[in-house]
Amino acid sequence: MHYPEQIRLQFPLLVRNPELAWLDNAATTQKPAQVIDAIRMLYESDNANINRGLYDIAVRATAGYESVRKVVAEFIGAGEGNIVYTSGTTGGVNMVARCYLQPKLKAGSEVLISAMEHHANLIPWQIACKNSGASLRVIPIDEDGVLNMGEFRNMLSANTAMVAVTHVSNTLGTVNPVEEIIELAHSVGARVLVDAAQSIAHYPIDVSEMNADFLAFSAHKMFGPTGIGVLYGKEEVLSEMEPPNYGGDMIRTVSYQDCTLADIPRRLEAGTPHVAGVFGLGEAIGFIQHLDRTAVRESLHDLTTYATEQLLGVNGVTLIGRAPSKSSILSFTAPGVHPHDMATVLGTRQIAVRAGHHCTQPLMNHFGISGTTRASISIYNTRDEIDRLVSGVRDAINFFS
């Protein structure tokens, strides 16, 4: 069974704010006590730079840091050498676009993205194409927010160098068929990057089965700290990447005239990393693994279904994103109420939602709107919070009308 009220007790911020309905999980999740404790304990007990010192706390910090790489690898079905620490999903996508793909692009090359991509999985490819003379093409979606797979098949060709697609849309909640996308892309020799920022917390991911060339995600959307993330890459693609930065701890030898680089992944991790963030990431994964993930997904599905029914029962509310395969993200518009006004009214009632274009401006243009109000549900949310959300939406409509 999944008991969100009991899970909520493991999150200090929610315990200290019992009236807070945190429905902004697509932006960031709250952090359980064990994640916060891991970060605090590192700074209290083992604060040292890694891979350098030979004294006890430095040895412990280094061992702990590298042990998390193994935890991450096992969590997504990868090898340790395929795990690169980054600043987050954005950092991982930018690294692939700039350090792997751009040097390979030329006039006539094509990069395919979906119409629902977050700006972080759009702009890096846009810039890489502009700098190389390649073309950026967009896979269309229908009015329910479902990817047009027939058109995607037609767009693929020998010129396709990269397909970059989100696993779960941060705005629509659409769950894309990434395994099918990858298989089709590989059939024409294209590489694939999957943005797993919105899926990593709730959906089991095995990169060996998925067969993606790259996969990126952030810790802070899976109950971990901000400023740390992971880029997974197959060995052959990581070995072809130029280092994003040059400096300490990513070299073997250095002279005034030349240098030799360290092995993957260290050659891609120059400088002092976010050590505390890595420790927090490890604990976040441990927290997730101790959940009954099947029960959690079933509970989230039931709560999302309930929220959808209740919101659509409010006169005039329109749901943006109604794919049959959908996660726990609900974006909606309300008659006569700007999304920012809706979020403000809800905020006065301690209901935290997000309003705006959600870093998907082209997607908003597709639907002919400036933005939406977005409620995103996670493991600690309850029906009572959904009822409060719906009541607040109804009252806001009545007030502004």
| Cα–Cα dist 372/351, whole Å | 16
Residue 398 dihedral angles phi and psi, to the nearest 5°: -65, -40
CB contact at 8 A, 221 and 166: no
| Catalytic residue list contains 129 | no
CB contact at 8 A, 112 and 79: no
CB contact at 8 A, 203 and 168: yes
Residues paired with 259 in a beta bridge? 254
> How many other C-beta atoms lie within 10 A of the C-beta of residue 16?
8
| Cα–Cα dist 96/229, whole Å | 14
Q: H-helix or E-strand containing 44?
A: helix 33-45
Candidates 99, 129, 259, 359; catalytic one: 359
CB contact at 8 A, 95 and 264: no
| Cα–Cα dist 320/306, whole Å | 16
Residues paired with 111 in a beta bridge? 136, 162
Q: Which residues contact 13 (CB under 8 A, 6 or more apart)?
A: 20, 30, 31
| Cα–Cα dist 246/96, whole Å | 16
- Active site residues per annotation: 359
